[in-house]
Chains A and B, each alone.
Chain A
Amino acid sequence: MKAAFLVVLVAGLAMADDRRSGYEFMSRETQAMQDDDTSNPAMLWALDGEQLWKAGKPSCASCHADMKGVAARYPSVNSGRLVNLEQRINLCRTGKQHAAPLPYESKELLSLSAYIALQSRGYPIAVQADAAAGKALYERRQGQLNLSCAQCHDQYAGKRLGGSTIPQAHPTGYPEYRLEWQTLGSLERRLRNCLIGIRAEPYPYGAPELVELELYLMSRARGMKMDAPGVRP
């Protein structure tokens, strides 16, 4: 009986985690771009973010010691509302720093989120909130091509779409320097790209649908280590 139990336990552990981050789907050359902090273009934004962190009165630094592990826990519920990291930054800016919110995808907001996400590098993703709404969006067919996220990223992950390998869509590296954009961008920007790709109307930045999707993707990747700010093709 005990032996059987042990066998089942071992089998359970061995039904290994076959989740792979986008990093593992990239070519060796693109991985090399990310591996060295002095050759990872995303680090340029993190450097700017470090400066912004210390700027202003009050500055972020005046309240927060560090942001270790914080980005790994977003999106999260804040005062009853689900917010992503960028929205949480703006809540601090308006609520505590009496400053204007930073526009989505602005250099400043990306720099701050890159600097904060960098401090979660190596931390396992640890989102808590209920992701049912996001899961429904992920599995829903939409757009002129009538595709759901699940079809490419669950069913066909590892296979090719055009010249690219379809990743499993684990957002471990955001905000990321996407070679296609030639700049740093957020997960929301990438999701909007996907929606445009399937010829669906992309939700506007900050829309609850996008945040729900972000939450679902992060919860699906729970336990995987962050490698932000990453480089991706």
Chain B
Amino acid sequence: MKRRVFVLSLALAPWMKSACADAMHDAMSAVLEGATPREGRVKIELPPLVENGNAVPFSVSVESPMTERDHVRSIHVFNEKNPQPNIGDFFLGPRAGRASVATRIRLADSQTVVALAQMSDGTWWSGSANVIVTIAACTETV
């Protein structure tokens, strides 16, 4: 058990730098169920400087032939500094044609967004992106 946690920590090292990554780490562990993700194949697209943290255009794509034998089963997206670590879970399959999902997300602060993708062979891959979020000028409440 201890050894497994150690290996997991090593694998997730890039995101462990700040203390507030704890909740994100736990949420990711819950999905990984002991597996170790490899960095790569997963690409997150986020504007580097966000105009408004309420609706940030976000997309994630995974390199995969998306065939019956070799496809992306699911993509799970996490964040570091929102009140809650999960953003969304997306379930694909060979009928998707491409592993590419886009949505709009809320980001409470400048932070790292991480995506974990599970392949049809059970392996996990990961990707991350950093984003700077500022507050709007002239807000409605003071």
Contacts and interface: CB of A to CB of B under 8 A. Distances in A.
> When A and B assemble into the complex, do they touch directly, with CB atoms less than 8 Å apart?
yes
Contacts of B55: 33, 179, 182
Contact of A196 (B49, B135, B136, B138): B138
A3 interface: no
Interface in A161-201: 161-164, 166, 179-182, 189, 192-194, 196-197, 199
A124 B134 CA distance: 34
A233 B52 contact: yes
Contact of A193 (B57, B104, B140): B140
A136 interface: no
Interface residues of B, number: 17
Contacts of A148: none
A126 B47 CA distance: 36
B54 interface: yes
Given A30-B51, A199-B142, A233 B57 contact: no
Contact of A197 (B54, B134, B139): B139
B47 A29 contact: yes
A32 interface: yes
A32 B135 contact: no
B141 interface: yes
A161 B135 CA distance: 10
A44 to B, nearest CB: 14
Given A29-B57, A32-B57, A33-B57, A197 B51 contact: no
B137 interface: yes
Given A30-B51, A179-B51, A233-B52, A163 B57 contact: no
A176 B47 CA distance: 22
Nearest to A181: B140
Nearest to B46: A29
A26 interface: yes
Interface string B125-140: 0000000001111111
A27 B47 contact: yes
Contacts of B57: 29-30, 32-33
A180 B141 contact: no
Contacts of B141: 196
A142 to B, nearest CB: 14
29 contacts: A27-B49, A29-B51, A29-B57, A30-B52, A33-B57, A162-B134, A162-B135, A162-B137, A163-B49, A164-B51, A164-B134, A164-B137, A166-B137, A179-B51, A179-B52, A179-B54, A179-B55, A179-B136, A180-B52, A180-B54, A180-B136, A181-B140, A182-B54, A193-B138, A196-B138, A196-B142, A199-B142, A233-B52, A233-B136
Interface of B: 47, 49, 51-52, 54-55, 57, 104, 134-142
